[in-house]
A and B are shown apart, each in its own frame.
Chain A
Amino acid sequence: MKTNINRRDLLKWITGIGVTSLLGVSTFQILQDNSISDLEWNHEDFKFLNDEDQITLLVLIPAFIYGETLNTTRIKEKQLINVLFNIDFAILILPERTQDELRQLLNILNNGVGRWLLAGVWKSWSAASVQDLIEFLQLWRNSLIEILQSAYQGLHQIIIGSFYAEPDSWKTIHYPGPPDLSL
């Protein structure tokens, strides 16, 4: 399924919807209700991730990082977009062979039929609840098919690593950051 929604509209949609109960939380309702008017998100700045990849990852990032805790936690939009930029840059510095594999994987995830084949569930990201996504990732993590296991682990490394690379994420894990050498 081709998603023609642009990022700005997507963000408006995400932030415009209120918070509901855990199981009912749509994957598009996971951001803090901040103003997005100042947010600069220039899609030209992405060199590897296309529009569809960006939407796929916007859905997967919170599921990987927070999952059920989205009940009580919300991500800041700036944080989410920083993660997206980190992912884009990280992929750019990977070898071409690995880039090819990630391209294939993202194409499958972007494609409704691909998602259906992988997880046997929903056809569009907007129809997936957070719970659906957690189960989808769980299925993938424990798949008997090696390529799915390694795809889960590859996405895990790049998504989770891109999040915990950012100082914004350190407070929640009680990491003070590197020492200040100017003292």
Chain B
Amino acid sequence: MNIQYPNHINVAQLDSSRAFDCDVVICGTGAGGGVAAEILTQAGYKVIMLEEGPLKRSSDFDMQEKTAYATLYQEAAGRKTKDKAINILQGRAVGGSTTVNWTSSFRTPQKTLEYWSDNFHIKDILYENMEPWFIRMEQRLNISPWASPANENNTILARGAKALSLTPKVIPRNVNGCINLGYCGTGCPINAKQSMLVSTIPTALESGATLLSCCRAQKILTEKDKAIGVKAFAINKYGKLKKDIVITVHAAKVIVAGGAINSPALLLRSKLPDPYRTLGKRTFLHPVSLVTGIMPKPVNAFSGAPQSVYVDDLLWRDGVTGKVGYKLETAPMHPLLASTVFLNHGSHHYDIMQKFPYMQASLALLRDGFNDDSVGGEVTLDKYDYPVLDYPITDYIWEGIQHSWLTMTELLFAAGAKHVIPLHLDSSIYSSWDKARQAIKKLPLKKLRAQVASAHVMGGCTMGGDINNSVVDSHGRYHHVKNLFVFDGSLFPTSIGANPQLSIYALIAKLTNNLIQSDSLK
């Protein structure tokens, strides 16, 4: 199936600066920008989308990590927090992270929405307000529980969970015609994944929207208290700004949708009014802890739908505001990423890599942000005006990480693992649950010793009803500048407690509809 991308300009190939005019300019083409572009274009708005990454399509996706990380991910899949203690996987291509994610599609948990309504005074955000939008986006992106049998990696998670009297459930996925390759993370080579790249963006382009790729929004242009457009630069093949090629887009409305980290960075670079110093704060990561099991039979965790089983029993283990809860899922294992998570060298590393086909990878994503001890991180700019996220790992998070290591280790032994390795520099390769339990309790809860990752970035442009603890209002409008909207995962005032793509799709569909309605009332 060949998808067409009319009205696309690769800005890296331009040899002179250009100016454009439109009704709405959208900075970013991920889960937020993609949904907004389609709905606005279909409502008759003239839309221009800016994307710093390249336009790559199914024929470019060769299922090689080397190609994918270099072209489709932020910082070659090696983006890190300021102290380098957390490694962040985030997309950077047309379609954003939806082009490379593992397709898990969850509705926002009811408890999360209640917490936002109660604590951040966001209007119309309760489950009953959101449900029609979940349904609409599930239909649009063909989201349904994965009907094929789980691969071995996920089957082990389900088996271990049952042995611990937990309840494994089937993950809904946004796929159509998926043939279980297992290479979602390097871009779907058969257009089965219903990412923004194959759904909303081509539809918007066919309806007259324009896409500028390899084009980084650098600054929001303002006049008095109004946003009037965006100044952007071409970027070269190494992701660096080409300051001689300037793209100026004048627009009646500006939508910022670069995702958490990049959206607050764009607003910070623009030096917009921020009287309560809320911009960039409350950035959340779902810190992820990892445990590997060495199984008696090959797992081949590189093959088959990467995530199809989840375990939610511990997500609210101590209530909403108590100890941090977590969701259990699996991670696919491909050689490059797998080799870098075993932080050892020489024969220790070589020997563990020999077990590659036998590895099961379990992960726990921690629900941060629901407690005064969990206020997330802060995005600032470095001397190159490039974002840097300072995310200190607090004792609140450490307690959850240790708890999750114990749960996953017990689960993997119960599922038949011969050896289990929590990913920590001081961990051994454990051969029994008894030994492991004692040892894990003694593992130092220290950054750079424990390995922590994240594939979900949220927050940084908090949405809320109170001007003193939020950046935008309940409609996604920037508090202090007119005609400026934030439409992406950076709106969330806490983490979600689930893989975030469907939460972003549904909320942005709702907010885009609000925008159109309020325009029509004028």
Interface residues, chain A, with chain B CB atoms under 8 Å away: 63-69, 73, 86, 89-90, 92-98, 134, 137-138, 141-142, 146, 149-150, 153-154, 156-158, 160-161, 163-166, 169-170, 172-175, 178-179, 181
- B383 near A: Cβ within 8 Å? yes
Cβ-closest chain B residue relative to A146? B448
- Asked if A166 meets B66 with Cβ closer than 8 Å, knowing A96-B240, A175-B302, the reply is yes
From B336, B344, B357, contact of A164 by CB (8 A): B336
Of the listed stretches B33-41, B104-112, B348-356, name the one at the interface; the rest are far from the partner chain.
B348-356
Chain B's nearest CB lies how many Å from the CB of A71? 9
Which residues in A have their C-beta under 8 angstroms from that of B52?
none
A181 and B84 in contact, given A64-B345, A173-B353 (Cβ under 8 angstroms): no
Q: A94-B76, A97-B382 are in contact. Are A170 and B345 (CB under 8 A)?
A: no
Q: Is the CB of A175 within 8 A of B357?
A: yes
Give 19 new A-B contacts, CB below 8 A, not counting A138-B345, A174-B356, A178-B183: A63-B346, A64-B346, A66-B347, A67-B345, A67-B347, A90-B70, A90-B78, A93-B70, A93-B75, A93-B76, A93-B238, A95-B382, A96-B240, A156-B340, A161-B340, A170-B335, A173-B356, A174-B354, A178-B63
- Contact B75 A98, beta carbon cutoff 8 Å: yes
Tell me the nearest residue of chain A to B334, going by C-beta: A175
The verdict on A175 contacting B335 (CB below 8 Å), with A96-B386, A97-B386, A149-B448 known, is yes
Contacts of B357 in A (CB 8 A): 173-175
Question: Could you say which of B64, B240, B336 contacts A161, with CB atoms under 8 Å apart?
Answer: B336
**For the complex, is B516 an interface residue (Cβ under 8 Å from A)?**
no
Provide 24 A-B residue pairs closer than 8 Å at the C-beta atoms, listed in order of the A residue: A63-B346, A64-B349, A65-B349, A65-B350, A68-B346, A94-B75, A95-B384, A95-B386, A96-B386, A97-B388, A98-B75, A134-B345, A137-B346, A154-B84, A156-B340, A157-B78, A158-B78, A160-B345, A161-B340, A170-B335, A174-B356, A178-B62, A178-B64, A179-B181
Closest residue of chain A to B70 (Cβ to Cβ) is A93
Contact A141 B425 (CB under 8 A): yes
Q: How far is the CB of A157 from chain B (nearest CB, A)?
A: 5
Q: How far is the CB of B182 from chain A (nearest CB, A)?
A: 8
Whether B356 and A160, one on each chain, are in contact in the complex, defined by CB atoms closer than 8 angstroms, is: no
> Across the interface, which residues of B come within 8 angstroms of A173, CB to CB?
335, 353-354, 356-357
Chain B nearest CB: distance from A176 CB in Å? 9
Interface code B212-239, partner A: CB below 8 Å = 1, 0 otherwise?
0000000000000000000000000011
Q: Assess whether A69 is in contact with B302, with CB atoms less than 8 Å apart.
A: no
B343 contacts partner chain A, Cβ-Cβ < 8 Å: yes
* B469 contacts the other chain (CB 8 A): no
Contact of A92 among B183, B238, B356 (CB under 8 A): B238
Q: Output the nearest chain A residue to B386 by Cβ-Cβ distance.
A: A95
In the complex the two chains form, is B346's CB within 8 Å of A134's CB?
yes
Q: How far is the CA of A90 from the CA of B348 in the complex (A)?
A: 25
A97 CA to B239 CA in the complex, in Å? 13
